[in-house]
Chains A and B, each alone.
Chain A
Amino acid sequence: MTKVMSATHQRAVPSTDLVVLDKVNKHYGPLHVLKDIDLAVRRGEVVVLIGPSGSGKSTLCRAINRLETIDSGSISVDGTALPTEGRQLARLRAEVGMVFQGFNLFAHKTVLDNVTLAPVKVLKQNRRAAEQRAHELLDRVGIGSQAHKYPAQLSGGQQQRVAIARALAMDPKVILFDEPTSALDPEMVNEVLDVMTALARDGMTMVVVTHEMGFARRAADRVVFMADGQIVEENTPHEFFDNPRSERAQAFLAKILTH
């Protein structure tokens, strides 16, 4: 968490595409929630998806590890097309971390067991080694002292940081964040964003759906603005927030930045 890499170092990472979405479409009944989405996320890049609710950004994020199926188009992670079901899909998901809006920590397991479950059962790591690594990760997100508590005994901010440690324990190639701070009390938002900002600095590839514009400005390499199931505009955070080109984005920013 303390390891800080310079922004130029991030740029030095070979800019091969890690996550590629090509002409992705999805419908919920008559509702067309994703319309011809093309998006490529480079290794080490932090992409922030923003947009009004119902714009399809969460669906897009969840489609990347196939928690949502798609109707047409293709999604690939590190050159491998998303498998439809079974063992190959599980293997791919093991390489893609996910942090949910509602934390979704395993309620019947301690913090430590939450973090070690998948490394032990999926990666077949030795339990001792997995626990040692879990303690390191919990220290890194600032909750080392709570390892033996149950999720319900922690605050929302602490639970979300455990969820980030749980994702990191799998050494994922990319982590998806689906509105990670939307269910938190305001005073806990920053403790989670700080952890995420540090991750971004360390060069983790991240796709983040959020309403936190400060985080987008600070940590994003690219902002992708979605509305009505389409990508309307994408740009560097600086350009996007200061000079939004589309009317849709201007209207959206005017609404959220003036209050």
Chain B
Amino acid sequence: MDALFTERATILAAFWMTLRLTAVSALGSLVLGTVLSGMRVSPLPVLRTASQVYVTVARNTPLTLVLLFTSLGVGANLGVEFSAQISVNNYWLAVLGLTAYTSAFVCEALRAGINTVPVGQAEAARAVGLGFGQTLGFVVLPQAFRAVIPPLGSILIALTKNTTVALVAGVAEASVRMREMIEIYGDQVIQIFLGFAAGFLVLCLPTGLLFGWLSRRLAVAR
């Protein structure tokens, strides 16, 4: 147990990075996923197809490949630079990859949510003169979101754990620190594993509980 204790500062710093990756990517994928789901139900076939193609590609590509693509392809090859500092640059490239990947799942969850909203709701919105964007934004999406809070929670939990793949983009999050520690403290491998697993549990359990509570709290009565 000594290793976990003596290294507590670096472990916490690593988990802090995990948390930042999760929070920023979650926000990004919520926004992008919402836009994608809006495109998916748009009256313009071009937008529908674009969204569908994007979701199919992003959802069926392994996350490791997505992150390698953003760090090596977008970052190194295309020369997209978010910051002169390498660690900051890597962080944003990882956020980009995680967002690109996760937003596909958010889009699919929301699309399922849109399907739970009775068609009469959108008809009533159109009948009072709301346009497509207003109907979606004021009437359909608010109800769709409330219907899919539990699956969005699952997606967030998956994202939290998926941040460990950011190691391929050179981001020093929790799993990177774990590997380093295993190399240094080879006699305490089991303890280190259990310690880091507990760390993820601490991050993920409240997420599940919070989303369960939110879904009951915000449920739309019909």
Contacts and interface: CB of A to CB of B under 8 A. Distances in A.
A67 B127 contact: yes
B43 A85 contact: yes
Interface stretch (A70-78, A89-97, A206-214): A89-97
A150 interface: yes
* Residue of A65, A107, A151, A153 most packed against chain B (CB within 10 A): A107
B131 A90 contact: yes
B120 A100 contact: yes
B131 A104 contact: no
A102 interface: yes
B121 interface: yes
Contact of B129 (A67, A90, A107): A90
A104 B220 contact: no
B221 interface: yes
Report the contact-size class of chain B (Cβ under 8 Å from the partner): 20 to 34
B131 A98 contact: no
Given A117-B138, A121-B134, A121-B138, A107 B128 contact: no
B114 to A, nearest CB: 14
A87 interface: yes
Contacts of B127: 65, 67, 93, 96-98, 100
B128 A104 contact: no
A167 B129 CA distance: 10
Contacts of B128: 93-94, 97-98, 117-118, 122, 166-167, 170
B72 to A, nearest CB: 44
Given A91-B129, A94-B128, A121-B138, A150 B221 contact: yes
B222 interface: yes
B161 interface: no
A105 interface: yes
Interface stretch (B11-19, B78-86, B139-147, B170-178): B139-147
Interface string B127-159: 111110010001100110010000000000000
B104 to A, nearest CB: 26
B26 to A, nearest CB: 23
A107 B130 contact: no
A26 to B, nearest CB: 17
Contacts of B146: 108
A104 B123 contact: yes
Interface string B85-127: 0000000000000000000000000000000001011011111
13 contacts: A90-B126, A93-B127, A93-B128, A94-B129, A95-B129, A97-B127, A100-B120, A104-B123, A104-B124, A107-B220, A108-B143, A122-B129, A166-B128
